[in-house]
Structure 1
Amino acid sequence: MIKKLSACTSILIGKKATIDGTIIIGRNEDAKAAWPKRVEIHPRDSMERLFISKETKLTLQLPAHSAQYMATPEWTDKDGLFEEDGINEYDVAMSATESAYTNELVLGYDPLVENGLNEEAMITVVLPYVKTAREGVARLGQLIAEHGTGETNGVLFADNDEAWYFETGGGHYWVAQRIPDDAYAVVGNQLAIQEVDFNDPDNFMFHPGIQVFVSEHHLNPHEEGFNFREIFGTHDRADAIYSTPRVWYGHQLFSKSKAQAEQPEDQDLPFLMQPDRKLSILDAQRYLASHYQGTPFDPVGRGSQEEKHRYRPISLAKTQESHLLQMNRGGANIHWLALGVAAQSVYVPFFAGIDDVPAPYKRGKLPAQRNSAYWIYKEAGVLVDSHYHDFLPDLQAVQKELNVNAVKMVAQTDAHLKELKTATERANYLTRQSINFATDALNAYRDLSLSLLTKMTDYSPLNFKTDENL
């Protein structure tokens, strides 16, 4: 299945590490260059009680009450829903998943489960049924312990108080760590959690049998401690080329003073870091939209051909969508969504609790559609790709203007929101604000594509320099 090839990049930031006290979690969803995503809002109590996975055939009886939430499912549910990310009505945010790998020794004792709970179903069977991030961790952990999973994954949770990173190992085991308020984490397709403190329930949650499992099968390579990454994860050459450079780059961006000695292929990069300065939502966006700018490893930079293709970048053609879920805000929380390649798209703010989005954001099919938001953003990116360095300034100008306008719109919305007295007034206002900005962003990208198309007409290989006197 297409998702078996998926590979993402994640970021989590605690509230004392951000410039405005918000909590930020987010991820690039990477699978295939032309694989559309769309937006869906599930009303309260709209979920079916019986869930059957189209991918694994797992059957679950779900709770009677389901919360309202927004998600970004696949264009087709042939192989499952893959809802990926969202914020529910209780202000719980969830992003699933960050693909990773369990080593062969662990898999020999706890194989992956063919009919277990996989990425495609995690949002659907967890997010509508939890009221805190901790409840999300507990529910997902209980489901995996009982039914197993066929994949190794990392899952992000947050609410208005804290952020958590959850990882599976083998078919049934898992741990989760709270992100310290003054720290951040960046993750790239490797198990990331390191030392687990089983006597610290404020900061760690875990499968109740994981210590016995590791001890009985002699899986811990160290005499002391419990390093989940060392025990369950992989540490091969592929990790050094594919995964760790993206973590290294995040540390270089945010913690240069502490990470000067780090190298892109280091296998022991720390999971948690303190930033040199407080981070904004735009910093998080720039990380997920980055591709090693300022280093020889930028695929569109000035390095040698070998250097430019040495490491897998963070933002790449196979990104379907990129999202950042911003919690603990003074106003409404925000689901920032960039459809298509983050480096060439723009993050559109959708406020939590809205009940509608513009029609183009609900569409997305194959072959390409001109009335689909996914394809509108993709079209502009493909046109930029045709003459990248010539057209990049045009793209960046549109992105900059939309980013400035987004910050302005969010500030204005927060201010006006305080004047509204009822929940209905707030929801209606937030919906209008989200729809208006999302529509403006689409129109800006439509205009960009037409501008680039006009410029491209003179790049034809059939062109000829004509003497004006003829």
Structure 2
Amino acid sequence: MACTTILVGKAASYDGSTIIARNEDSPNGQFRPKRMEVVQPTDQPRTYTSVLGHLTIELPDSPLRYTSVPDAITDQGIWAAAGFNSENVAMTATETITSNERVLGADPLVSFVPAKGAEGDPGYAPGRAGGLGEEDLVTVVLPYIHSAREGVARLGSLLEEYGTYEMNGIAFSDVDEIWWLETVGGHHWIAKRVPDDAYVTMPNQLGIDSFDLADAEGEQRNHMASPDLRQWMADNHLDLTFGAVGPVGFAGKEGAAAGNLGVADVFNPREAFGSHSDSDHVYNTPRAWYMQRCLNPSAAWDGPAAKLRPESDAIPWSRTPERKLTIEDVKYVLSAHYQGTPFDPYGWQGTPDTRGAYRPIGINRNGQLAVLQIRPYVPAAFRSVQWMAFGSNPFNALVPLYGNVDELPEYLCNTSERVTSESFYWANRLIGALADARFHDNAAAVEGYQERMGALGHQMLRETDAAVAEAVADEVPAALAHANGELAATLKRETEKLLGRVLYTTSCAMRNGFSMSDNER
């Protein structure tokens, strides 16, 4: 799944929140409709079978309530995408990432293999279930964890037991920490804690660029990994750090006596496990370049002085921003189409060739954007806020919904295969397709809508926080659901108004228009 992720540590955010956010994008030529849902413990399966992987696993008996953003059409599985559980732990899964032939040869992906022939027939070969994939991960992990670190541990153990059929990156957060896990081959994984004062950009590539294996094997303060990672790397010659000399030791250290097996204690996973292909340089790295260009604008990103360019392999995984980052910053970079550069498909700079050179972040096949914010300055009963947008991000609005609720507004949950403006998902798809055709003519209306809804969202949070601060605990979920519903009602009205304006503007520019009219109706 082609996606883009940004993670913001609590000391890097404007209000001390941890923030994890991801665009979920459909593959090229597909538009997978999305909706929202609250999954109650009674509705969580105890025996789970995946659609694409054909894997059946037993789940624990005591799930937590959680929010999710599943596919509206489940022929390919649930794809729950992102949400909070009732313990204020957030998860977004997944960011599809890349690998290389050495890794995939050392630990092959666990793909589904159908049975060959019928049982009892000559030549019959039994089938094999695949491993876990993006369709499964939120469903089998989020309802069972009580911290971000616990999320890493649970998912890691599942990967070790069942494997995976694809390379993915997964984010977990709680009020104190953000962790990022990357799968490595079929059964191995690494995870790193996001520095509190930094943000992380992830554009469909294996991203972690420094990993302390000794910490992962010891205190696990900031790193976790498969227990056998060092031995596996040594056996398969995966560490590309200068000085690694094979399975007998590591130059400059204590060698085999220290147990390092020829693998550096601190190594670069992007070099060991990742890719630097030509396609990365047009599809992946330019997105990280642009996000960091926006959030650290004083660095040299353009011209002869630029050390990092759109096709650079050295764009850092994490970076301290020049100022604290807001929800609006997150939305902007996850809606970006290279504004202010020769690569903007809607821009005037450059040439027709440069304007189509790189894959935008805000692309036509954005399905949903979930920005998961956990606020430390309010009681646990209402600290989780799931900011949501559907459709192509340059044309949609991001709105907040309290996550500690038993139900979510119908307008965001009613997506089906039927195209209708009564659905927030489909209304946004219609707006994007119409507005794109006359981008500059519609830009003012779209920007006004985005600003109005963002302001109303912040206002709703401020007023509702104050109203429920002294409420009886049992009354809080209903009060939060009511506030979500009131905002959704306004959102529906404003979205329909924008749809009408965009429809009018683009209709006036149709090529079969004619200025002469008989003025009769």
1:415 deviates by 1.7
Paired residue for 1:145, among 144, 160, 173? 160
Partner of 2:261: none
Gaps of 5+ in 1: 1-5
Q: Which AA in structure 2 matches 1:454?
A: Y
Partner of 1:465: 515
1:367 deviates by 4.1
The answer to whether structure 1 residue 75 and structure 2 residue 72 are counterparts is yes
- Given that residues 185 and 271 in structure 1 are in contact (C-alpha distance below 8 angstroms), is that contact kept between their aligned partners in structure 2? yes
Partners of 1:270 and 1:122 in 2: how far apart?
27
Partner of 2:322: 276
The answer to whether structure 1 residue 47 and structure 2 residue 93 are counterparts is no
Q: Which AA in structure 1 matches 2:288?
A: V
Partner of 2:341: 295
Paired residue for 1:443, among 481, 493, 498? 493
Partners of 2:504 and 2:358 in 1: how far apart?
35
SS in 2 for 1:48: coil
Partner of 1:3: none
Partner of 2:354: 307
- Given that residues 349 and 438 in structure 1 are in contact (C-alpha distance below 8 angstroms), is that contact kept between their aligned partners in structure 2? no
355-364 or 451-460, which deviates more: 451-460
Paired residue for 1:160, among 169, 175, 182? 175
The 4+ residue runs of structure 1 with deviation greater than 4 A are: none
409-418 or 103-112, which deviates more: 409-418
Sort the Cα spacing of 1:257 and 1:453 in 2 relative to 1 into closer, same or farther, 3 A.
closer
Equivalences for 1:406-425 in 2 at 5 Å? 406-422=457-473, 424-425=474-475
1:241 deviates by 1.1
Paired residue for 2:411, among 357, 360, 370? 360
1:454 deviates by 3.1
199-208 or 39-48, which deviates more: 39-48
Using structure 1 for the length normalisation, give the TM-score: 0.95
Q: Which AA in structure 2 matches 1:205?
A: M
Partner of 1:7: 2
SS in 1 for 2:57: strand
The answer to whether structure 1 residue 31 and structure 2 residue 81 are counterparts is no
Partners of 1:195 and 1:462 in 2: how far apart?
58
Partners of 2:488 and 2:211 in 1: how far apart?
42
Superimposed CA distance per residue, residues 69-100 of structure 1 (whole angstroms, 9 cap, x where no aligned partner)? 01010012211110000000001000000001
Partners of 1:65 and 1:121 in 2: how far apart?
18
Percent of pairs with identical residues: 37
Q: Which AA in structure 2 matches 1:320?
A: G
367-376 or 226-235, which deviates more: 367-376
SS in 1 for 2:499: helix
Partners of 2:82 and 2:173 in 1: how far apart?
11
1:409 deviates by 1.4
Partners of 1:464 and 1:250 in 2: how far apart?
43
1:54 deviates by 1.2
Partner of 2:83: 86
- Given that residues 376 and 442 in structure 1 are in contact (C-alpha distance below 8 angstroms), is that contact kept between their aligned partners in structure 2? no
1:397 deviates by 1.0
- Given that residues 67 and 84 in structure 2 are in contact (C-alpha distance below 8 angstroms), is that contact kept between their aligned partners in structure 1? yes
The answer to whether structure 1 residue 256 and structure 2 residue 297 are counterparts is yes
- Given that residues 441 and 505 in structure 2 are in contact (C-alpha distance below 8 angstroms), is that contact kept between their aligned partners in structure 1? no
Partners of 1:468 and 1:141 in 2: how far apart?
71
Sort the Cα spacing of 1:217 and 1:328 in 2 relative to 1 into closer, same or farther, 3 A.
same
- Given that residues 32 and 73 in structure 2 are in contact (C-alpha distance below 8 angstroms), is that contact kept between their aligned partners in structure 1? no
Partner of 1:372: 423
Q: Which AA in structure 2 matches 1:218?
A: H
Superimposed CA distance per residue, residues 372-407 of structure 1 (whole angstroms, 9 cap, x where no aligned partner)? 221011112222122111111111111111111111
Partners of 1:467 and 1:94 in 2: how far apart?
57
Partner of 1:426: 476
- Given that residues 68 and 88 in structure 1 are in contact (C-alpha distance below 8 angstroms), is that contact kept between their aligned partners in structure 2? yes
380-389 or 99-108, which deviates more: 380-389
Sort the Cα spacing of 1:467 and 1:37 in 2 relative to 1 into closer, same or farther, 3 A.
closer
SS in 2 for 1:343: helix
Partner of 1:214: 233
- Given that residues 251 and 259 in structure 1 are in contact (C-alpha distance below 8 angstroms), is that contact kept between their aligned partners in structure 2? no
1:134 deviates by 0.5
Partners of 2:500 and 2:345 in 1: how far apart?
26
1:313 deviates by 0.8
1:452 deviates by 2.6
Superimposed CA distance per residue, residues 337-379 of structure 1 (whole angstroms, 9 cap, x where no aligned partner)? 1011122111121111112222232222224233222101111
1:453 deviates by 2.5
Sort the Cα spacing of 1:259 and 1:160 in 2 relative to 1 into closer, same or farther, 3 A.
farther
428-437 or 251-260, which deviates more: 251-260
- Given that residues 386 and 401 in structure 2 are in contact (C-alpha distance below 8 angstroms), is that contact kept between their aligned partners in structure 1? yes
Partners of 1:438 and 1:341 in 2: how far apart?
19
SS in 2 for 1:78: helix
Equivalences for 1:337-348 in 2 at 5 Å? 337-348=388-399
Partner of 1:244: 285
SS in 1 for 2:211: coil
Q: Which AA in structure 2 matches 1:268?
A: A
Q: Which AA in structure 2 matches 1:378?
A: R
Partners of 2:105 and 2:343 in 1: how far apart?
37
90-99 or 356-365, which deviates more: 356-365
The answer to whether structure 1 residue 58 and structure 2 residue 55 are counterparts is yes
137-146 or 216-225, which deviates more: 216-225
- Aligned CA RMSD, in angstroms, stands at 1.7
Gaps of 5+ in 2: 112-129, 244-263, 302-306
1:258 deviates by 4.3
SS in 2 for 1:177: strand
Sort the Cα spacing of 1:352 and 1:329 in 2 relative to 1 into closer, same or farther, 3 A.
farther
1:259 deviates by 5.3
Partners of 1:68 and 1:357 in 2: how far apart?
13
Sort the Cα spacing of 1:45 and 1:405 in 2 relative to 1 into closer, same or farther, 3 A.
same
Equivalences for 1:388-399 in 2 at 5 Å? 388-399=439-450
- Given that residues 73 and 417 in structure 2 are in contact (C-alpha distance below 8 angstroms), is that contact kept between their aligned partners in structure 1? no
53-62 or 89-98, which deviates more: 53-62
- Given that residues 411 and 488 in structure 2 are in contact (C-alpha distance below 8 angstroms), is that contact kept between their aligned partners in structure 1? no
Superimposed CA distance per residue, residues 138-187 of structure 1 (whole angstroms, 9 cap, x where no aligned partner)? 00010001111000000011001100110011101100000011111011
